[in-house]
Amino acid sequence: MQPEPKVNILLVDDHSENLLALEAILDNLGQNLVKAHSGEEALRCLLNQDFAVILLDVQMPGMDGFEAATLIRSRERSRDTPIIFLTAFSSSDRLVWRGYSLGAVDYLLKPIDPQILTSKVAVFVELFKKTAQIKQQATQLAAVNAELKTSEERFRSLSACSPVGIFLSDITGRCTYTNPRCQAICGFTLEESLEAGWLQSVHPEDRQQVLANWSAYTREGKEYSDEFRFLSPEGIVRWTHFRSSPMLSDRGELVGYVGTVEDITERKQGEEARAEFIREQSARQQAEAANRMKDEFLATLSHELRTPLNSMLGWARLLRTRKFDENTTARALETIERNAKLQAQLIEDILDVTRIIQGKVRLNFRSVNLVNVIETAIDGLRPAAEAKAINLELSLANLEGGDSDNSPESSAPSKLTNILKSKIPNPKFSVSGDSDRLQQVVWNLLSNAIKFTPEGGKVEVQLESASSYVQIKVRDTGIGITPQFLPYIFDRFRQADSTTTRSQGGLGLGLAIVRNLVELHCGNIYADSKGAGQGATFTVKLPLAGCQISDAEKAHPMESDVVAIANLPSLKRLQVLVVDDDTDTRDFMTTVLEQYEAQVTAVASVSEAMEALEQLRPDVLVSDIGMPGEDGYGLISKVRALEEERGGRMPALALTAYARVEERTHALKAGFQMHMTKPIEPAELIAVVAQLAQQNATKVK
């Protein structure tokens, strides 16, 4: 007995590793797996082969999955071939709807459950085999019909006893005969089925399409196969597999068509039930995974926020209740400040992720020298590296065989390769991008490398240039990344260890933020590690040509809020009006300003501020934005409505705990001259107030 022929399954993905993964999952089906690395290659495969199902990746360079599906559906041979879309990009309703509108039978989001994928593909393999069997039966039936011309009685006997419905039509497609089984399945009598009457029994929702398909088939004279519904006078709906073949005379002339009608209602109901079960199972698994991630993240967030609070509140209570020597007091204040900065960084990470999810990150593109960016990040993290005796190195190289600048390794802890400033203005290390965001990328990668590298280890930064891109590599000798976690290293809220015994802190947001910032610069980031305990390497590729983005996505440069704070001036005889509803904030700013000899009037609301302006003529207004009742925008609007001699042109500084770019833009447009985000550094506050007062004095002159 000959073995059953294998069925072709087409796998389309531009990543070889994804094709290998699909091949591994589907290999146990024992079918012929055909691989294509692009939409174009897939179309070439379809020229000479039929496939039971096509697994088609959505995101591919050149021709994407949707374009390939459109071309596949435009060909007669592959028009009805089932297509399952695979994507890791998005599961939005719009993209899913688009996939189904192109004739897809399913739309799966990566990573794909192997069991679900195998079961789905197995269904279509079985359907393909059954279709082939039915086509073979139809061919055999056509041969039998030719023989039955010699014996009408024999034909009637066979037709009456056939387990499938049989019909005959003339060359125009008008029905000339139906057997009893066909009449029972379709719910009509012999008289009702003749001519074009059988179409009236087709389900109203399918009728127009069936008529169009049948008319096209009779014009072309080819084999026909379709699945649609019949509706009986009693209201019974039956799914049928409707097939037809041309009947030829002994001379090869077309004399009509013979076809079969098979009741596939049970099969359709089974398929729908199975598909619904698979959908529910998949949705349940995804919901459970999402809930686990949410619970783990909330637990981690609670831990990371409460841990600094413990030290801050503990030392604050001790300082209030006891008297310590100068060294202990300094250590307490340093601990409070360090933990406060840690909390501020956690909040910044959460806000960054929120902006990224909402698509509200705006970049201020300009030419950026990456040597300066990397050196600044290294300078900021050098104390952390020195504390762990980590050897920190930077090297420059040209990937295309040009000059390089590599210093020999040193055994001294925290050794930084010295790149002379005269070498820095090199265009091969400059890209178009947002300097602050690129520095955030490098800082996060270096900070992670130092955090996960044990004492006495090594962290190396390599800056390499090529003809079209610049590449940053951050390589460490730290704890490494396990193969199981490596695919999820850039996912939001994912950590390799989320248990209460984890050795490292953090929310698991840093690398997700890095990936999104790199992609906003039209770059790519990759992670590589040989396994636990063998270090890790992160590679960032940025195009030299810059990123082509629309004007709406670019940040518009505004007047800089950066001020010189090296030599803080005296604010002697300067009158400052402070407006903030928070008592502690008012006390803090009053204390800071009075230390530099300013005369401060502090009020808690807009109404109190307007009353104070009736008696005072402040040199500078410092106002919070978010206040109950009426906010800072309402205050500045009222101030700007005053006459100049009553303070209408008084310089004003906006303070807010809202750190979005939109808040700063809104403040400047509303009438404030400068904007600062809480928490406020005392030195910066003094410098800004002095600068505003100086600018106002210059304008008055």
Sheet holding 224-231, edge to edge: 175-178, 165-169, 254-263, 237-248, 224-231
Q: Could you give the C-alpha distances from 684 to 376, 562, 681, in angstroms and in order?
A: 20, 9, 5
Tell me the C-alpha distance between 488 and 494, whole Å. Answer: 7
CATH number for the segment(s) 270-355 = 1.10.287.130
Is residue 617 within 8 A of residue 592, CB to CB? The reply is: no
Residue 460 reports pLDDT greater than 50: yes
Tell me which of 354 and 212 has the higher pLDDT.
212
pLDDT band at 136 (very low <50, low <70, confident <90, very high): confident
Tell me the C-alpha distance between 217 and 642, whole Å. Answer: 83
Q: How much is the pLDDT for 503?
A: 41
Residue 358 reports pLDDT greater than 60: no
Residue 410 reports pLDDT greater than 80: no
The string of pLDDT tens digits covering residues 561-599 is 444 444 567 888 899 999 998 887 888 889 889 988 999
What one-character-per-residue DSSP string does 277-319 give? Answer: HHHHHHHHHHHHHHHHHHHHHHHHHHHHHHHHHHHHHHHHHHH
Alpha helices by DSSP H, 417-545: 435-451, 510-520
Tell me the C-alpha distance between 673 and 677, whole Å. Answer: 14
pLDDT band at 309 (very low <50, low <70, confident <90, very high): confident
Tell me the C-alpha distance between 46 and 32, whole Å. Answer: 14
pLDDT band at 502 (very low <50, low <70, confident <90, very high): very low
Q: How many CB atoms lie within 10 A of CB 695?
A: 14
Q: Give residue 349's identity as a one-letter amino acid code.
A: D
The mean per-residue pLDDT over the stretch 321-327 comes to 84
pLDDT band at 556 (very low <50, low <70, confident <90, very high): very low
The string of pLDDT tens digits covering residues 676-686 is 887 788 888 89
What one-character-per-residue DSSP string does 222-238 give? Answer: --EEEEEEEE-TT--EE
Is residue 609 within 8 A of residue 579, CB to CB? The reply is: yes
pLDDT band at 659 (very low <50, low <70, confident <90, very high): low
Q: How much is the pLDDT for 420?
A: 32
Q: Is 256 left (phi over 0), alpha (psi -120 to 50) or beta?
A: left
The mean per-residue pLDDT over the stretch 134-162 comes to 74
Residue 148 reports pLDDT greater than 80: no
pLDDT band at 162 (very low <50, low <70, confident <90, very high): confident
Q: How much is the pLDDT for 356?
A: 63
Residue 502: which of 295, 303, 339 has the closest Cα?
A: 303
Secondary structure E strands in 365-418: 366-369, 391-398
Q: How much is the pLDDT for 360?
A: 59
150-167 burial, b at 16+ Cβ within 10 Å, e below that, comes to eeeeebeebbeeeebbbb
CA 32 to the chain's CA centroid: 33
> What is the SS3 assignment for 470?
strand
Q: 8-131: what fold?
A: Rossmann fold (3.40.50)
Residue 11 reports pLDDT greater than 90: yes
Environment class of residue 644 by beta-carbon count within 10 Å: exposed (0-12), middle (13-18) or buried (19+)?
Answer: exposed
The string of pLDDT tens digits covering residues 486-500 is 887 887 655 544 433
The mean per-residue pLDDT over the stretch 116-132 comes to 90
Q: How much is the pLDDT for 363?
A: 75
Sign of the CA dihedral running 525, 526, 532, 534:
negative
Residue ranges per structural domain of the chain = 8-131, 149-263, 270-355, 363-553, 575-700
- The dihedral over CA atoms of 44, 50, 55, 58, expressed in degrees to the nearest 10, equals 40
The mean per-residue pLDDT over the stretch 616-633 comes to 90
Tell me the C-alpha distance between 146 and 174, whole Å. Answer: 20
CATH class of segment(s) 363-553? alpha beta
Q: Could you give the C-alpha distances from 87 to 26, 49, 388, 529, 535, in angstroms and in order?
A: 17, 25, 43, 25, 31
The mean per-residue pLDDT over the stretch 104-124 comes to 87
83-87/524-528 β-pairing: unpaired
Verify cis geometry, omega within 30 degrees of 0, for the bond prior to 82: no
Looking at domain 575-700, its CATH architecture is 3-Layer(aba) Sandwich (3.40)
Q: How much is the pLDDT for 332?
A: 83
The partner residues of 177 in beta bridges, in order of sequence, read 168
Q: How much is the pLDDT for 93?
A: 73
Tell me the C-alpha distance between 373 and 433, whole Å. Answer: 11
Residue 557 reports pLDDT greater than 70: no
Tell me which of 195 and 53 has the higher pLDDT.
53
The mean per-residue pLDDT over the stretch 51-64 comes to 89
The partner residues of 167 in beta bridges, in order of sequence, read 178, 259
Tell me which of 330 and 403 has the higher pLDDT.
330
What are the residues whose beta carbons fall under 8 Å from the beta carbon of 594, sequence distance 6 or more? 600
Q: Which DSSP symbol is given to 202?
A: B
Is residue 182 within 8 A of residue 166, CB to CB? The reply is: yes
The partner residues of 656 in beta bridges, in order of sequence, read 677
CATH topology match: 8-131 vs 575-700 = yes
Q: How much is the pLDDT for 218?
A: 81
Tell me the C-alpha distance between 634 and 640, whole Å. Answer: 10
Is residue 216 within 8 A of residue 210, CB to CB? The reply is: no
Q: How many CB atoms lie within 10 A of CB 223?
A: 16
Say yes or no: domain 149-263 is CATH 3.30.450.20: yes
